[in-house]
Amino acid sequence: MADDLKRKQPEDKRFISLTETWEVEYWTNTLEVSATQLRTAVANVGNGTEKVKQYLNQYQRK
């Protein structure tokens, strides 16, 4: 199935995907972090949205 170029939100918000530019932009805006912070969080705890949020709240926003 081809990507829907009009999509503005992830299909499954339980997971963070860093493969598409629009997805990185969506998550950085939603979580109010930089792309670097987002990528670091995903690298450390995986792509589960709740785990990323917990990581960011614990380590990035001090």
Q: Is residue 29 part of a domain?
A: yes
- Cβ neighbours of residue 5 under 8 Å, at least 6 residues apart? none
Q: At what angle do helices 35-45 and 21-31 cross, to 10 degrees?
A: 90
Domain span at residue 34 reads 21-60
Residue 52 domain flag: yes
- pLDDT at position 47 is 98
Counted domains in the chain: 1
Q: How many CB atoms lie within 10 A of CB 55?
A: 19
Rg of the chain in Å (alpha carbons) = 12
Question: Is the residue at 45 inside a domain?
Answer: yes
Place of tokens 């705890």: 45
Instruction: Determine, yes or no, domain membership for 42.
Output: yes
Whether the pTM exceeds 0.75: the reply is: yes
Query: Each residue's pLDDT tens digit in the chain (62 positions)?
Result: 455 666 678 999 999 999 999 999 999 999 999 999 999 999 999 999 999 999 999 986 55
Instruction: Answer yes or no: is 7 within a domain.
Output: no
Residue 36 falls inside a structural domain:
yes
